[in-house]
Structure 1
Amino acid sequence: MAPPPLPLFSPSPKPPPPPPWLHGPSTQTQNPSTGPAAPPAPDEAAPPNKPRHHSAQPAPARNTGSKTAAKPLTAGVPGGRTRRAVLGIIRRVRSLELSDPPGPVPAPARNNDAAAAVPFHLPIEPREQAREAVEKGKARAVPWAAARDEGLKVALRREKKAREPTRAEAELEAGELDRLQRLARGMGRWARAKKAGVTDEVVEDLRREWARGEELAAVRIVEPLRRNMDRAREILEIKTGGLVIWTKGDIHFVYRGSNYQQNMKHSQYSVASVQNVSPVKYNVHRAQIKYGNEGEVLTDGNSKGDDVIQENDQSVCGQKDEEPIKGTLYEREVNRLLDSLGPRFVDWWWNTPLPVDADLLPEFVPGFKTPFRQCPPGVRPTLADEELTYLRKLARPLPTHFALGRNSRLQGLAAAILKLWEKSLIAKIAVKVGIQNTNNEQMAWNLKHLTGGTVILRNKDFIILYRGKDFLPGGVAQTVIQREAQVHDEQVKEEEARLKAVDSLQMVGGLSSEESSVGTFREYQDFQADHVHENTENSNIIELEAEKHRLEKELKDQEWKLSILNKKIEGSNQALAKLHSSWSPSEQSADRELLTEEEKAMFRRIGRKMDGLVLLGRRGIFDGVIEEIHQHWKHKEVVKVITKQNQARQIMYTANLLEVETGGILIAVEKLTTSHAIILYRGKNYRRPEKSSSSNLLTKREALQRSIEVQRRGSMKYFARERQKSILELKRKLRYVARQIKYRTPRS
């Protein structure tokens, strides 16, 4: 008899029976912990070998071993009756058991039976974890148990960031703010900010509105400042002195203030007055104090600039101590670093910190030159692909250091970048938006040659410069240069002492006057003068030979491609000739009707006002077009044909061909906005042709093939001309390289 199945999915206060795969056929014994067993059913009381159902063949005898008992759990399981599959089933059963609510503790068993002593547990987990679970007396939490705890849900919910009140909400009363917002809803006129930001023209437009007696003035923000409307609000409040009381989409409504009439004489805002508004403005003020007059602070060896910085730091020390410390340590360090580089760019369209305005830095720095560089021994100066990728990822979260809007005269910016590289590996420069004639390629080229750095990224928005592996700070570079000069002087002195010693020995001992330069400094100098220069010449000749070989190979490839194009053009000409052979245009009739000028003007006026038209597509004139024109003439005397051709010669050829093929009279060719209209009159003696389609013209399919071939041939002719130009240019370069090789080759 097979054991009853386990109640896996129904919680029960009774302890579960022992699993059958642990003790095999002993499960048929009665469990004393479950009380007296119920009387067996009539079918179950029968012996195992007796068939239950009356049939012709007796049922086979059942084996009550462990394999038969384990069949309900292992049947259909991937892996069959392996131990791994059984252990997986045990894990799932135990997780379901532990997820049920705890029931009453059963009474201890009276009989020390082997079946009752076996617990429903296998040592799948380590013994230490099992012992801890038993000591705690708590079931193991399932993964989804945390979702049932509502209190935990509330605790894990993301908290919304507290919204900081604006200046208008902090300074104006609630009733006054509501009145101004209702007044702003009825405004239908606003000023438009420029792409460069809130410029002086926009500020003057707002002040002009306030001068008319209006309390509010609106301004529409455009890209890129529209991406950060909070920053746009700050800039408006800084430059105008008003308060932004409401924002609707991309429009800011600025309130002039209750004391505007008293401050009318202060038309221009000053940075010093902005200092008390925002902590960022203090940084702008301090930087402008340093760099307002000259760019001497940017030079490293200028002690006068250092004295100016020290005096300015002492002058603003009192103000700095009075203000509370705001921002994290990183933000304060970044602001301090940018303050030491130059004045800030107030119209910056992203969040703080504000970058340095590179256009306010000096154009020329006295005594500036590209810094000395020296790569450490054994280090390759170029960047590998992995290093370039790493540097680009490193530069992404960094704040923008400079904002640039001019292409040349960047010595002041280069000096600031060199100063920044002493603290940072990367200099991140933003290209200003809305300034005409800016070229980021020219900017990057000038900065690269002024600083000697490496451009790792350049696009229309940013230029990122890496200082390079051979970069040396100012103090280190000066030390290296001085040390090399000292070594050279020592070598010269040693050579002079050696020559004096040799002369004295010759005079005393009567030695030979022939001098030997083996192992001397003079030998090194001779080697540098002879062999290094010779190697340089040889390398130049090798490079020219390689360039000549490359040009010859490219010339051969271009000539081969040109021959292929010429063959394709010949094939296209043959296909067009075959199509044209089946097309025979009609001849002009000698008996033509004559119209007066008044009649032509009337038909022209009628044709211009007509709504119905015939549109000529890329197929041109074929039999279907002529049939459609006759369909129009069936109800009207005038037809209007629209063509998209641009050249006057093609348009007149199409108009004359339509006149001949249809037998009508050409009234006029009118110029429309994007096309031309051909107006045709059917004539006073018009008779509908017997055949609706013309047999002498191309069909619709043939006309499409002709159009494709014409377009294909024109494209191939264009590329053939371009190939011919490139071949001529390659031949010119090849002649120049051959002359260079001839002149530089030493004559024997």
Structure 2
Amino acid sequence: MSANLSFCALSNTLNFPYNPVFNRKPILHFLFPKAKIIASSRLDHRDGIEPKKQETNHSNSAIKAPTAPWMKGPLLVEPNQVLHFSKRRRRRKDSTFIENETPDKALTSKVSGGRGKKAMNKIFHRIEKLQEIVDLEEESWETEEKEKFKFTPGALWGDKDSDLEEIGEGLKFGKGIRRMPWQKEEEGIVIKRMNTEKAMTAAEAILDREFLERLRDKSARMRKWVKVNKAGVTQDVVNQVRLIWRTDELAMLKFDVPLCRNMARAREIVEMKTGGLVVWSKEDALVVYRGHNYQLGFNASPKKRRNLVDDGPNSSLSGGGEEESVSIDGSLYEREADRLLDGLGPRFVDWWYPKPLPVDADLLPEVVPGFRPPLRRCPPDVRSQLTDHELTYLRKLARPLPTHFVLGRNRKLQGLAEAVLKLWEKCHIAKIALKWGVPNTDNEQMASELKRLTGGIILLRNKFLIILYRGKDFLPSQVATLVAEREALLMRHQFHEESARLETTEIFSATYETSVNSDILGTLSEFQLFTDYAKQEVRNDEVKIQMETQKARLEKELRNQEWKLFMLKKKIETSVKVLEKLDSAWEPSEQDEDKEIITEEEKECLRSIGLKMDGSLVLGRRGVYGGVIEGLHQHWKHREVAKVITMQKTFSQVLQTAQFLEVESGGILVSIDKLKEGHAIILYRGKNYKRPKLAPQNLLTKREALFKSLEMQRLGSLKFYANQKEQAILDLKRKLKECT
């Protein structure tokens, strides 16, 4: 390439030879502005290459352009090899990304959804499609054995050191491999979760398969059932099932909460109480088969009835083997819980949660002779109350524990309290569930009764559970017995010591006075007397301090109330002065002596006309001022009667306002009537009415009237609070007299 470049001395043009090998891409990757690239044909003769013939077509002819200052000679370049920076070049879309695009951009372009599952599926399909295209274009990539495409995540970014090692069915990535965005780093060994096999039911083990299928088909078509309420499978439900078995071999049961949440336990209870076999179950329904040898009116126990079912022609298991298997079945959790509850009382068979079965508290005795709340002693430097942190910890600790008791009554819980005390010797927490469907149960009363009998601490109480903690001061029965014995022994020793001291003082008493004065000297009685006197003195001092504190507090409160009353009186004086100034700003008019007189008939007629009028003049909080009188004359301009509505409460104020309007306007007061919205004042203008030319000058303006109304309201409030303060001062003075 270096041999083919030449610089011409007479020109500033760099000469490039024409090479058909590099015809695919432009030879120059940059150009100076205002420069033209020209391919020289003169050097082609030197290298033995024939120059390209000039074509007649102008579009295919070589282009000569200005050269750079250091170039010598012209450059001739074909038109398709010139880069035009003025026009934006559009990237040509290619089906393959080998030359133009990077692999990761080709995969993720035009894929919406970010890193979601849908976007990842689209990317994977594109990878498969790209692999097919590459396999078709380059035969070197094809292998003899056509295997399913396995995409290497490291290949997207060009990791040459990435490797895949097949281990079993999985893939193990090497050190240079990058994970895909949806892959997570897995540490340790991943163990596949094994699906547990469905346990075989008693019906499947005993009955033939064809016979069982027939029963299940018949069960699916049943539309009548026995409703099992919240109380569970009671004796009434069992009697209804036996009544159905007299006419049909199958009986359907539908369960309400809580048994509908655990149908496996419901199956066990039904089979145990009825003696039948559950052959079909769906959601909250079970169908019970009565058995081959069921006898009408047979009142044997469920165990004997199960033996009759097992002794049928299709029997494969015996009742004795089943009872033996029950003793060894169950997890370690169930066995430990059963061992904890053994000896506390009979179990609750209708338990709606999985085993272990809790103790039925309703079957425990209501009253236990000689029962007393346990003795409690708190360790030194330990508070018996629980902190918030301890309470939270104990509640979390009680969550996985099994339920110990099931309760359904509110009172007479001494038997349950005794069982709880026995349980607390092995477990710190007692968990008591409340029975469903039992009327008139009150969990608050239950919890308070148990707390009174046992002295424990309630961790949780709601309509489902009561959780009791034995407390930090709880003593087991043996320890409590030892403590009580030691206390009794200590009291006996104190009694003997007191008796010995009394005998000694009687022997060595010299005189009667001495014996009288010294009969209790150095004894426990003397110490007790001194202690009582000291306690009484302390009590007297405390009472005296409380009285002095109360007296000081009352005196301080009295001073505060007197200061507030003084400030209120100052404000009242200021408000009175402002009102006097406003009252002096207006002068009421004098009433005309020559007043027009109208008859009663005219008054009644004018009153009916005024009440029927729609237009009216409403008086607000400002009262009567100059603008009201002008509005009244405006009404009289078009009609003889004017209706004024006022919102004042008392009739005396309304009457005073009506008289004031009559005097200031010069009209005649017709009537005052009570309406729904207030009082209506009817005014007649008179027969000789003349409208005044000027507005009244002796009344207040609108602003002054509003200010007067606010000041009157303020004065009333101040007087009210001043009266309250005076009453409070009198009460404080009375209390001070009582304290002294």
TM-score range, shorter chain: 0.3 to 0.5
TM-score (norm: length of structure 1): 0.46
- Which structure would you say has the larger RCO, counting Cα contacts within 8 Å and 6 or more residues apart? 1
| Structure with greater proportional helix content | 1
